Amino acid sequence: MEALSPTMEEGRVVKWHKRDGDPVKTGETLAEVETDKAVMDLVARADGVLRQVAAAEGQTVAVGSVVAVIVSPGEAVGAVPAAAAPATPSGSGKREAGNVATVTAPAPVAVTPLPVAAAAEATRVKASPLARRMAKEAGVDLKLVTGSGPGGRVVKKDLERAPSPGASAAPTATAGATFPVSRVPFPERTGAAYDDVPLTQIRKTIAKRLAASLGPIPHFFLTTEVDMERASEAREALNKQLGDQGGGKVSFNDIIIKATAHALTKHPACNAWFQEDHIRYWHEVHIGMAVAVEDGLITPVIRNAERKSLADIGREAKELAERARSRRLQPSEYTGSTFSVSNLGMFDIDQFTAVINPPEAGIIAVGSIVQKPVVVDGQLTPRRRMRITMSCDHRVIDGATGAAFLKTLKQMLENPLAMLL
Amino acid sequence: MANVYDVIILGGGPAGYVGAIRSAQLGMSTALIEKEKLGGVCVNIGCIPTKALLHSAYIASLLREAKEFGVEAGTVKTDYGVAMQRSRKVSDQNSKGVEYLMKKNKVTVVKGAGVLQPGRKVKVGNDTYEAKKAVLIATGSRVKGLPQIGLEINKTTVISSDEALFLEKAPASMAIIGAGAVGMEFANIFHAFGTKVTLIEALPRILPLEDVEASDALAKSYKKRGIDVIAGAKVKKGTPGKDKVTLEVEAGGATQKIEVATVLMAAGRAVNTENIGLAECGVQVTDRGFIKVDQNLQTSAPGYYAIGDVAGPPMLAHKGMREGVTVAELVAGKKPHAIRYDNVPSVTYCHPEVASIGLTEDQCKERKIDYVAGRFPFSANGRARGTGETEGFVKILRDKKYGEILGAHIVGGHASEIIHELTVARENEYTVEEVELAIHAHPTMSEAVAQAALDSLGRVVDM
């Protein structure tokens, strides 16, 4: 049973449109399901034959439990692992399967129920219902938008300039909802700016358990130390050349942004938004760059950083930061980022952890570059070193996924030429 | 120096008197200059008396159908003169009400024709009044004839609403030129009082500014009860005689001659911008004759503001009232909420009533908006069936993606009252879902609003 509305917890099967053994095509209506709000269509997420119809008409079924299985023609229905699915009234306890062949056994997630403490809404944002819907769709944090309505209420007008990255292209839900996502080619464009991949049961369970255990976003942190010798040398050479051409200088932060964007193209699983009932994997990299302003913090966005040259990033970052400090950023310039970078190196901070900027799934916290004694080829040598810490949203990024991304990032910073590959 | 005020308002119509009250509420000394009765066209020769006459017309038609409801009223006789006298009383009461409000709010009322002078001054006769803060121009508008085709208003055979409101008797026949709100309302009134009415509209449909479905519903309703409706018609020539007028009307490629006792001109209004000293003060007007204003309704002359009809369309009393309030607040140094000109309701009080807000379906198409139309007919509404007011519908146009209410169109009994639910919804940016979620009392006409909202979501219940 799919969640057919954001708040749906269970659905009553009103009528089956397909019967056991009927051939079905992706997108075809399988059944009408009554949710908490309306009667909606439950559609096939894969081509095949409908089998094992487990929910009778009139029966109420919890979201996430199996109502039927779609198999390839002639394929026997395998024993589908039950662990990740909640108990269901039908007692079948089987996973919804887009395509049985792609179902993988759920990872052994600790499923001991935890008392779910509803996270108190941080601060109430005054916004019109229409503005809320638009913000949700665009991934805009309403807390960052200045409202022009009565009493500072955020209204449509305030959001109209906010970005709608996928506005021209309909979000494409990947048929079958198959994991792992690394199958999604990157950065090859499919037309849409992103794919919305419905949460699998294991993802839903991970999301629920972890969120209940550690605040609204289950953070975990990965730290590594990067040798910045080559990056420093490259920067000096580059700035000399840029200086000769009369251009602006490139900062370490620019190099880190560029390397992060590049590394994200290799690890699309980290370039994603958590969207409650699905994860949005972006085909574009928009890097949010944390900038301290007089009474707070704002993250202007370098759009499509993966496609921009270091010099372009440098110019844009400088310009955005200046306008951020003078409070002249448009909402569209500080919303819609897919990943963020926060740098406290200039404050001599060795290492820190940054808080994820939702709905993003990760952020890199950058410490200062310090000369340290390091053993290289058996020799004690002074090297410029920098610690970076990645905060990951565990609902989207698992330990190994985050670590693999961080390793790539480290390699790129240690050998900046790799970015040219 | 006794004639110095913070704010001076020229014109005591809806924009002017409401602006004066708000100005006084904000502690500013205020003078209101009016050459005729307080309340302007609206109270004296517009909104208010026509509503009184329309109610007389409604009672007449109700009594004619009373038998069906088990009430015998005998032969229904109508007397326009009596209805007119009653409407005058209503107008006079309202005008006195405005006078009372001026006293209550300590607004000085100056009777006479004011002429603007440079230096935020207004001259009335030999007296000069000076405004310390602002002069608000609220001189309104008047009906206009079409002298270029021989139809200058002569006040006997060719009349405007100004004369129609004072007729002692309903004429035997009447051609009404212009089927906007005014033409529609008078067609309804005179038809109910026994006049043979021909309604002529130059644009392809009556109520040309409303949604096509509303126009069609009214054309059908009017034709059914015996009003001649000729749309897409050009009046080529009008020849007024002693007690009749001959019109040459071209419609559908053919020219026909129509002979009527009276012609009522209801084709547009002209703003009152002459002889009030605009040019002398540097107040510019637009190509269309309205006073040129900036977003704060300030004219090209600093310290002079324009509100109401003179400030531009829509020429509606409620739009002018809002402008009066807004400018008073601006002048007082407050920061009023910007006026949402896209959220001014439009109402025609004929039977059935027509009320709308926002975009029409055609406008949605022109703007290439991805919309969904939800409809609900009053014939499926229990309350409407009970009262026999099953004509009409509620139509809601919603944005497909976010559910924004792009426009709403209501034809039916009490449409003028029902529309405000959707006006409030739009003002607060509620989507169709918030409208539908609000529990509507049963049985009411307003349920049709919730049902139309549901229909736009594809889940209408009562149909």
Domain containing A145 — which CATH number? 4.10.320.10
Q: What is the pLDDT of residue A99?
A: 40
Instruction: Write out the residue range of the structural domain in which residue A143 sits.
Output: 120-162
Question: Cα–Cα distances in Å, from B266 out to A209, B174, B185?
Answer: 71, 12, 10
pLDDT at A295 over 70: no
Paired with B174 in beta bridges are B197, B262
CA B131 to chain centre: 31
Q: Taking chain A, what is the end-to-end CA distance rounded to the nearest angstrom?
A: 44
B401–A130 C-beta distance less than 8 A? no
CB contacts, 8 Å: A131 with chain B: 429
A155 shares its domain with A254: no
Instruction: Tell whether A193 is within 8 A of chain B (Cβ).
Output: no
Which distant-in-sequence residues (6+ apart) come within 8 Å of B159 by Cβ?
A: B153, B167, B262, B263, B264, B265
Same fold, B4-142+270-341 and B147-267: yes
CA B148 to chain centre: 26
CB B13, CB B140: distance < 8 Å? yes
CATH class assigned to B147-267: alpha beta
CA distance B128 to B254: 58
CB contacts, 8 Å: B433 with chain A: 129
Question: Residue ranges per domain, chain B?
Answer: 4-142+270-341, 147-267, 352-456
Domain assignment present for residue A307? The answer is: yes
Domain assignment present for residue A80? The answer is: yes
A134–B429 C-beta distance less than 8 A? no
Instruction: Tell whether A155 is within 8 A of chain B (Cβ).
Output: yes
Nearest to A11 by CA among A43, A42, A52: A42
pLDDT at B182 over 80: yes
A128 shares its domain with A249: no
Catalytic residue flag (residue B442): yes
Q: What mean pLDDT comes out for the span A374-378?
A: 85
A138 shares its domain with A37: no
Of residues A331 and B351, the one with the higher pLDDT is: B351
* Sign of the alpha-carbon torsion through B442, B448, B451, B453: negative
CATH of the domain at A287: 3.30.559.10
A48 shares its domain with A138: no
CATH number of B352-456: 3.30.390.30
Structural tokens at position B2: 């006794």
CB B6, CB B29: distance < 8 Å? yes
CB A169, CB A193: distance < 8 Å? yes
CB pairs under 8 A between A and B: 30
pLDDT at A123 over 70: no
CB contacts, 8 Å: B459 with chain A: 38-39
Instruction: Tell whether A129 is within 8 A of chain B (Cβ).
Output: yes
Instruction: Tell whether A130 is within 8 A of chain B (Cβ).
Output: yes
Confidence of residue B120 (pLDDT cuts 50, 70, 90): very high
CB contacts, 8 Å: A150 with chain B: 337
**Which residue in the set B337, B431, B457 is minimally distant from A129, CB to CB?**
B431
Q: How many domains does chain A have?
A: 3
A98 shares its domain with A128: no
Residue B139: how many CA atoms within 13 Å on its side-chain side?
A: 22
Q: What is the pLDDT of residues B413-458, one digit of tens each?
A: 999 999 999 999 999 999 999 999 999 999 999 999 999 999 999 9
Domain assignment present for residue A167? The answer is: no
Rounded to the nearest angstrom, the minimum Cα separation between B428 and chain A is 6
Q: What is the pLDDT of residues A56-96, one digit of tens each?
A: 787 777 777 778 878 777 666 554 444 333 433 343 333 34
A125 shares its domain with A95: no
Helix (H, G, I), strand (E, B) or coil at B382: helix
CB contacts, 8 Å: A129 with chain B: 428-431, 433-434
CATH of the domain at A76: 2.40.50.100
Choose the catalytic residue: A262, A267, A278, A394: A394
**Which residue in the set A38, A131, A133 is minimally distant from B403, CB to CB?**
A133
A129–B433 C-beta distance less than 8 A? yes
A259 shares its domain with A356: yes
pLDDT at A290 over 80: yes
Domain assignment present for residue A252? The answer is: yes
A210 shares its domain with A330: yes
**Which residue in the set B337, B401, B429 is minimally distant from A129, CB to CB?**
B429
- Whole-model pTM? 0.61
A151 shares its domain with A223: no
A233 shares its domain with A327: yes
CA distance B311 to B300: 12
Domain B4-142+270-341 has CATH 3.90.400.10: no
Domain assignment present for residue A188? The answer is: no
Please give the residue of chain A at the shortest CA–CA distance from B460: A38
pLDDT at A170 over 50: no
pLDDT at B256 over 80: yes
CB B436, CB B427: distance < 8 Å? no
Which amino acid type is present at position B157?
A: T
**Which residue in the set A39, A133, A150 is minimally distant from B337, CB to CB?**
A150
A38–B430 C-beta distance less than 8 A? no
B457–A133 C-beta distance less than 8 A? no
Q: What mean pLDDT comes out for the span A119-146?
A: 76
Q: What is the pLDDT of residues B40-72, one digit of tens each?
A: 999 999 999 999 999 999 999 999 999 999 999
Confidence of residue A276 (pLDDT cuts 50, 70, 90): confident
